Amino acid sequence: MFLGDSVLRSGFAILLTMPTAAHASGGDALGLFWAQAGLFLLVVVSFFVVRLSSPQKTVVFSAYLISGIVANYATLNLPYSANATLIDSVSAFVPLLVWIVALGYFVMRVERNITGRRTRSSGAALRVTPGTGERRR
């Protein structure tokens, strides 16, 4: 390792702790910044834990990113000091909820396809005639 790597790492660490990275003065917005960073890390780690196809992962990640952009755009013109709780809640929970719903949708869809799939032998399942309750093949 040469000197440039350590300078780059320390510069990156300083940048992450600066409140200006969150576009706010003081350390007020650092909680929101770390919440968003933790959520992003959770989303990325979930792709290694949950078995989804690449297009499904792309849809889930795109939904997460778009919801984050929409949430930040919705709170863009609000003064942070007067609306800190609202901004923090919307900016953190909207992407979290969208990620949970999108991931849950695809996980349930994959699970239902695995457990609910009919084979050719079970294709001739018993059918119930409506109104009579009679079963036949």
Q: Domain tally for the chain?
A: 1
Q: What pTM did the predictor assign?
A: 0.61
pLDDT at 123: 47
Which tens digits make up the pLDDT trace of 10-31?
Answer: 655 655 555 444 455 556 667 7
The yes-or-no verdict on residue 120 having pLDDT over 60 is no
Tokens linked to 124: 């001739």
Which tens digits make up the pLDDT trace of 54-105?
Answer: 888 889 999 999 998 898 888 888 887 788 888 888 888 999 999 999 988 8
User: Has residue 27 been placed in a domain?
Assistant: no
Residues 6+ away with beta carbon under 8 Å from 72: 91
Going by pLDDT thresholds of 50, 70 and 90, the confidence category of residue 1 is very low
Q: Are 30 and 22 in contact (CB under 8 A)?
A: yes
User: Has residue 57 been placed in a domain?
Assistant: yes
Going by pLDDT thresholds of 50, 70 and 90, the confidence category of residue 110 is confident
Q: Which domain holds residue 101?
A: 51-115
What is the crossing angle of helices 54-74 and 84-115, to 10°? 160
Q: Report which of 31, 32, 56, 33 is spatially closest to residue 46, judged by C-alpha positions.
A: 56
User: Has residue 123 been placed in a domain?
Assistant: no
User: Has residue 36 been placed in a domain?
Assistant: no
Which tens digits make up the pLDDT trace of 47-59?
Answer: 888 888 888 888 9
